[in-house]
Amino acid sequence: MTDVKRPKIWTAVFAVLSLAYLYPIFLVLVNSFKGKVFIARYPFDLPDSQSWVGLGNYELGVFRTNFFAAFGWSMVITIGATALIILCTSMTAYWVVRVDNRYAKVLYLAFLFSLVVPFQMVMFTLSWFTDFLNLGNPIGLWIIYLGFGAGLAVFIFTGFVKSVPRELEEAALIDGCGPVRTYFQVVMPVLKPAIMTVTILEVMWLWNDYLLPYLTLDLKKYQTIPIAVQSLRGGYGAIDMGAMMGVLVLAMIPVIVFYLFGQRHIIQGVVAGAVKG
């Protein structure tokens, strides 16, 4: 087999795999326009004149879940937590790389260790600690997400900071910049590919997360979209599949659009961060 044909074969293989991943999303979209009886009986059929309900499922799902309120709280939590994670972890990674002493290495290993600790080990303690500190609100959830999202973010930023030339910081120091000003005016703009990578990964995680908001938030006041979708489950396991399909489509749209606009930055950030270290 020639080297020219091999990439074409792999392209065809991955194209087929991509269709397999996209098919469940297609099913959700198709079923969102069908009556709930037809979704249960004929989930793989396209809508016809009998099963078609138009936007009825969307209207019912928005009404029953108070969707726009849940959408607003999801936006507040996702944007706030992502911004906090990027700011704190990028500065931490910069300090770890530039200081490079025993304490910095221990701190870096602690962040890496947090990646392998199962959430179930800290779930009960986290719930108690959240209640003790009165963090059962969106702002408090920012702090909790910072703890859980810091490991991966520090790992990515550390790899990227190693590729940033020290000469840039030395030039800023000669011009009279202190460490803080050097970071924000010189280093942080250079970290843009890594920032975009971390932003995309964190947004996709935070937007779709169900367990942490469910364990920590006061659900009588605050509900995110995953929790609102789960509220469509009735007694004895009954589910209004039509309304749920409609809400799921609405919930997927923002994160899919965001990912499509920023996906190229993931590869740029990972490749750039792998240059050194």
Q: Where exactly are the structural domains of the chain?
A: 68-273
Question: What are 121's two structure tokens?
Answer: 């080990």
User: What confidence tens digit (pLDDT) does each residue in 8-21 have?
Assistant: 787 888 888 888 88
Question: Average pLDDT, whole number, for the chain?
Answer: 84
47 has a pLDDT exceeding 80: yes
Mean pLDDT value of segment 31-48: 85
101 has a pLDDT exceeding 70: yes
What SS3 state is found at 239?
strand
29 has a pLDDT exceeding 70: yes
Q: SS3 string of 3-62?
A: CCHHHHHHHHHHHHHHHHHHHHHHHHHHHCCECHHHHHHCCCCCCCCCCECCCHHHHHHH
268 has a pLDDT exceeding 70: no
Residue 76's pLDDT is what? 95
Looking at domain 68-273, its CATH superfamily turns out to be MetI-like (1.10.3720.10)
Rg (CA), the chain: 23
What SS3 state is found at 117?
coil
User: What confidence tens digit (pLDDT) does each residue in 166-190 have?
Assistant: 888 888 888 888 888 888 888 888 8
Q: Which residue has the higher pLDDT, 203 or 263?
A: 203
Mean pLDDT value of segment 48-66: 86
Residue 22's pLDDT is what? 86
d(CA 78, CA 260): 18
Q: What is the DSSP string of 208-236?
A: H--HHHHHHS-TTT---HHHHHHTTB-GG
- Do residues 86 and 206 lie in contact, with contact meaning Cβ atoms separated by under 8 Å? no
Q: Which residues contact 230 (CB under 8 A, 6 or more apart)?
A: 210
Residue 276's pLDDT is what? 46
